[in-house]
């Protein structure tokens, strides 16, 4: 395990996950398609997961990996619920453009 | 046995009150009257029993009912003290009370709220008994407040007339001022002697442990005197009593002439040992009493309302009693209280009989010539007038003469003032008598047609009271005073015992009688010989206008007390309260304004929400990093 980190270096993992996270953030901010937004959120989530695993290896501590399992399980449930909501929205409005979802305006 | 009897004495009128309040309306007017009168008569019977007993044994009866409350070592019992003084008071409170109840049965028969009237009267008697027989100052205070309340309720009994309500409020507020003084007096005494029980207090005060503390004793005595002057209508708190005549006439007779207004005198007599240690306050009492007697008598000279004349006469007579109290002659004051109760109750009930016959007319200018129609009322009224004017052998002569004599021995100025007041008393009483009963009737034809002598329920109390007013002086004849011996155990020992009855005394008596006759003579010359009738309100000029308007004291109080308080209240309402509520409302307004602006942010655009969300997270993270 140390070999992998020695070969690539922990900082590269950090850069990768930061880049992934930023991609996710910009995807959320700029895309209007709800599914794409949803995917971007997943990218952010996985960027964080990646960081967890990398540090887990770096510190020789299994806790981070265990946490990632939890987070993935929760993410799976979240995806199921989120997609169900999206399907329902599409059935009602005929579109999943988030600009159309303004019924909650105060 | 004694305990139970004492409870009967106190609770009989209270039961009468409860009955009349809860069942009075259904029971009907006759039952209400009978129950009301009987409950007071029971109290009278019990008082008489106790009185006879104590006259024999000469030992006070102390009844402890229960521990009321205790603060550390300061304990207060709820109990009754039946001694010579309280029994004397009980006798005439319940006796005259019963007579006036009887009178009211007829007098108030046409009133729709008769049951209420009797309920209040019974409640009054209950509180008056509590006041008189309480074994400590606090129990007395319960009665003190209670009679004030009943006085308020009864003055405002015909509450559909706003003037009457105002009179009731005035009486209540004036009394509150006095009550505050009384309370301060109680606290000061509790602080000084750590007891407020009359028996213990007397021991402690006469024991002299605290006698060095003259300043505080003086303050306590002054505070008690303020309390007494509120209840007993002395300067400067006397203005409520004439207004209190708004109540039905039996109320004026019972509460505002015979009983309640003598509570102040009772209290000072009760606390005589304390006042004896504060000579300065005694002087103040004497001066206030004398001045009140004179001022009220001068006002009484020109009043035209039959009850107002009697009211000022009451204030004036109470002033004479305070004069006697201030000079340390408690027994004389008590004597005058009793004779005054007889003849003043008789006068008020007589005036009530006249008012009854004239269907509510109270202005003497519209009366006259009633002596042929209302024979019994006239004769009783005449006897009572002679008594109050100090003509021998009627009761007022003896009591007033003793006051004048005491005043003469102590201070010639006080004697002159008191004598002047007596002469005026004789004048205005006979002015009243002549205007009401002599000459021609000056009312309307219709009234004249309906003139009648009052029914026997009204005349019977009049006759009894007139007899008492005539012979009441027997209880304390000069030189051989039953009252003096009877009251000796509760009053301070007189140092120079009754000195021989010499020429000075006879001279003083003669002067007093001549003074009274002069007053009567002037009234006779003016209203019988010259056949004058007091002028209409608008035509009164000069000094008599000032007198007629009661020296403008009410206006003066209005100006220096009521107006400033109103101004202050308005200031607080308009300025302070507005400012405070502006601050409170300000918070609400600010929240609303922020909300209105903030509403724009909730535009429903999810993209914007997300943007704000990311921005927020970035801001928080930046902060956290910077804070590190």
Residues 6 or more apart from B388 whose CB is under 8 A from it?
Answer: B313, B317, B340, B343, B344, B347, B396, B425, B429
3-state secondary structure of B477: strand
pLDDT of residue B161: 86
The verdict on B597 touching A (C-beta cutoff 8 Å) is no
The verdict on A101 touching B (C-beta cutoff 8 Å) is yes
Interchain CB distance below 8 Å, B605 and A29: no
Average pLDDT, chain A: 87
The verdict on A103 touching B (C-beta cutoff 8 Å) is yes
Tokens of B293: 């007697």
Residues 6 or more apart from B625 whose CB is under 8 A from it?
Answer: none
Instruction: Report residues of chain B scoring pLDDT below 70.
Output: 208-212, 493-501
Interchain CB distance below 8 Å, B604 and A98: no
The verdict on A98 touching B (C-beta cutoff 8 Å) is yes
Preceding omega of B236 cis (within 30 degrees of 0) = yes
Going by their DSSP bridges, the two strands B74-82 and B480-481 should be labelled as unpaired
pLDDT of residue B17: 93
Helices assigned H by DSSP within B472-540? 482-487, 503-524
The verdict on A28 touching B (C-beta cutoff 8 Å) is yes
Contacts of B606 in chain A (CB under 8 A): 98-99, 101
Residue of B605, B611, B612, B617 to mutate for A, most A C-beta atoms under 10 A: B605
Q: Give the one of B602, B607, B611 whose C-beta lies nearest to A99's C-beta.
A: B607
In a domain, A103, yes or no: no
CA distance linking residue B38 with residue B36, whole number of Å:
6
- CATH code at position A12: 1.10.287.3510
* Closest chain A residue to the Cα of B595, Cα to Cα: A106
Three-state helix/strand/coil letters over B42-86: HHHHHHHHHHHHHHHHCCCEEEEEEEEEEECCEEEEEEEEECHHH
Q: With contact defined as beta carbons under 8 Å apart, do B344 and B574 qualify?
A: no
Q: How many domains are contained in chain A?
A: 1
Provide φ and ψ at B480, rounded to 5°.
-140, 75
* Closest chain B residue to the Cα of A98, Cα to Cα: B606
Per residue in A43-93, pLDDT (tens digit) is: 999 999 999 999 998 888 889 899 999 999 999 999 999 999 999 989 988
pLDDT of residue A67: 92
In a domain, A30, yes or no: yes
Helices assigned H by DSSP within B389-502? 395-410, 412-437, 445-450, 456-471, 482-487
Contacts of A99 in chain B (CB under 8 A): 605-607
Q: What ipTM does this complex have?
A: 0.79
CA distance linking residue B581 with residue B415, whole number of Å:
61
The verdict on A6 touching B (C-beta cutoff 8 Å) is no
The crossing angle, in degrees rounded to 10, of helices A10-30 and A34-58 is 160
* Alpha-carbon gap: A95 to the closest alpha carbon of chain B (Å): 15
Contacts of B602 in chain A (CB under 8 A): 105-106
Contacts of A32 in chain B (CB under 8 A): 607
Interchain CB distance below 8 Å, A29 and B603: no
Alpha carbon distance, N-terminus to C-terminus of chain B:
90
pLDDT of residue A104: 61
Q: Residue length, chain A? A: 106
Q: Cβ atoms within 10 A of the Cβ of B202, count?
A: 17
In a domain, A67, yes or no: yes
Q: Give the one of A25, A98, A105 whose C-beta lies nearest to B603's C-beta.
A: A105
Q: Give the one of B604, B611, B614 whose C-beta lies nearest to A105's C-beta.
A: B604
Interchain CB distance below 8 Å, B604 and A106: yes
Q: With contact defined as beta carbons under 8 Å apart, do B374 and B459 qualify?
A: no
The verdict on A91 touching B (C-beta cutoff 8 Å) is no
The verdict on B542 touching A (C-beta cutoff 8 Å) is no
The verdict on B208 touching A (C-beta cutoff 8 Å) is no
56-85 in chain A: CB under 8 A from chain B: none
Give the start-to-end residue ranges of the domains of chain B. 347-493+500-534, 556-627
Interchain CB distance below 8 Å, B607 and A106: no
Interchain CB distance below 8 Å, A105 and B614: no
Q: Give the one of B602, B610, B614 whose C-beta lies nearest to A105's C-beta.
A: B602
pLDDT at A38 over 70: yes
Q: Give the one of B602, B603, B607 whose C-beta lies nearest to A98's C-beta.
A: B607
* Closest chain A residue to the Cα of B605, Cα to Cα: A102
Interchain CB distance below 8 Å, B611 and A29: yes
Tokens of B517: 């006759």
In a domain, A21, yes or no: yes
Task: Residue A28: give the domain boundaries.
Answer: 2-97
The verdict on A48 touching B (C-beta cutoff 8 Å) is no
Q: Give the one of A25, A101, A106 whose C-beta lies nearest to B606's C-beta.
A: A101
């Amino acid at each position: 395990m140390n070999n992998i980190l020695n070969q690539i270096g922990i900082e590269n993992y950090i850069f990768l996950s930061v880049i992934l996270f930023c991609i996710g953030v910009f995807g959320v901010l700029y895309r209007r398609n709800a599914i794409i937004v949803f995917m971007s959120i997943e990218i952010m989530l996985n960027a964080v997961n990646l960081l967890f695993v990398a540090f887990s290896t770096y510190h020789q501590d299994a806790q981070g990996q265990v946490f990632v399992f939890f987070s993935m399980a929760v993410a799976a449930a979240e995806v199921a619920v989120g997609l169900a909501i999206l399907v329902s929205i599409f059935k009602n409005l005929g579109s999943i453009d988030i600009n159309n979802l303004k019924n909650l305006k105060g | 046995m004694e305990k139970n009897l004492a409870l009967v004495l106190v609770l009989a009128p209270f039961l009468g009150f409860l009955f009349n309040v809860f069942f009075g309306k259904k029971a009907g007017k006759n039952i209400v009257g009978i129950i009301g009168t009987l409950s007071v008569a029971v109290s009278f019977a019990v008082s008489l029993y106790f009185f006879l007993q104590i006259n024999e044994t000469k030992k006070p009866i102390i009844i402890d009912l229960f521990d009321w409350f205790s603060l550390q070592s300061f304990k207060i019992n709820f109990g009754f003290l039946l001694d010579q003084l309280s029994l004397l008071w009980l006798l005439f409170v319940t006796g005259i009370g019963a007579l006036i109840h009887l009178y009211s049965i007829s007098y108030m028969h046409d009133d729709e709220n008769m049951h209420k009237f009797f309920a209040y009267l019974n409640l009054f008697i209950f509180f008056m008994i509590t006041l008189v027989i309480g074994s400590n100052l606090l129990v007395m205070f319960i009665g003190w407040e209670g009679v004030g309340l009943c006085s308020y309720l009864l003055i405002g009994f015909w509450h559909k007339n706003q003037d009457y309500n105002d009179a009731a409020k005035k009486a209540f507020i004036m009394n509150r001022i006095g009550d505050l003084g009384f309370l301060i007096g109680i606290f000061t005494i509790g602080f000084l002697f750590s007891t407020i029980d009359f028996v213990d207090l007397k021991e402690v005060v006469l024991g002299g442990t605290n006698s060095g503390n003259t300043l505080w004793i003086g303050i306590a005595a002054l505070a008690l005197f303020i309390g007494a002057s509120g209840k007993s209508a002395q300067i400067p708190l006397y203005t409520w009593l004439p207004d209190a005549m708004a109540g039905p006439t039996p109320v004026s007779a019972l509460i505002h002439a015979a009983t309640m207004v003598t509570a102040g005198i009772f209290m000072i007599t009760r606390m005589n040992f304390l006042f004896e240690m504060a000579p300065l306050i005694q002087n103040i009492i004497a001066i206030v009493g004398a001045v009140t007697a004179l001022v009220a008598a001068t006002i009484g000279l020109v009043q035209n309302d039959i009850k107002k004349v009697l009211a000022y006469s009451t204030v004036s007579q109470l002033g004479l009693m305070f004069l006697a109290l201030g000079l340390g002659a408690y027994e004389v004051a008590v004597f005058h209280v009793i004779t005054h109760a007889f003849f003043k109750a008789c006068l008020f009930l007589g005036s009530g009989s006249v008012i009854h016959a004239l269907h509510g007319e109270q202005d003497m200018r519209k009366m006259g010539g009633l002596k042929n129609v209302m024979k019994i009322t006239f004769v009783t009224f005449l006897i009572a007038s002679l008594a109050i004017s100090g003509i021998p052998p009627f009761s007022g002569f003896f009591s007033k003469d003793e006051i004048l004599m005491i005043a003469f021995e102590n201070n010639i100025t006080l004697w002159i003032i008191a004598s002047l007041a007596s002469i005026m008393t004789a004048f205005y009483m006979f002015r009243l008598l002549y205007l009401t009963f002599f000459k021609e009737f000056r009312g309307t034809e219709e009234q004249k047609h309906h003139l009648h002598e009052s029914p026997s329920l009204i005349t019977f109390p009049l006759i009894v009271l007139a007899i008492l007013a005539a012979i009441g002086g027997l209880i304390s004849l000069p030189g051989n005073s039953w009252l003096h011996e009877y009251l000796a155990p509760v009053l301070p020992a007189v140092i120079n015992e009754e000195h021989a009855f010499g020429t000075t005394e006879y001279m003083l008596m003669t002067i007093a009688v001549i003074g009274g006759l002069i007053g009567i003579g002037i009234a006779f010359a003016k209203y019988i010989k010259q056949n004058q009738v007091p002028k209409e309100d608008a035509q009164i000029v000069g000094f008599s206008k000032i007198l007629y308007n009661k020296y403008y004291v009410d206006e003066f109080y209005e100006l220096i007390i009521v107006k400033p308080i109103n101004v202050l209240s308005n200031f607080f309402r308009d300025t302070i309260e507005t400012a405070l509520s502006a601050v409170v409302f300000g918070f609400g307004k600010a929240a609303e304004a922020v909300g209105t602006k903030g509403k724009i942010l909730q535009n429903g655009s999810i993209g914007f929400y997300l943007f704000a969300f990311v921005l927020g997270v970035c801001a928080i993270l930046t902060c956290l990093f910077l804070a590190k």
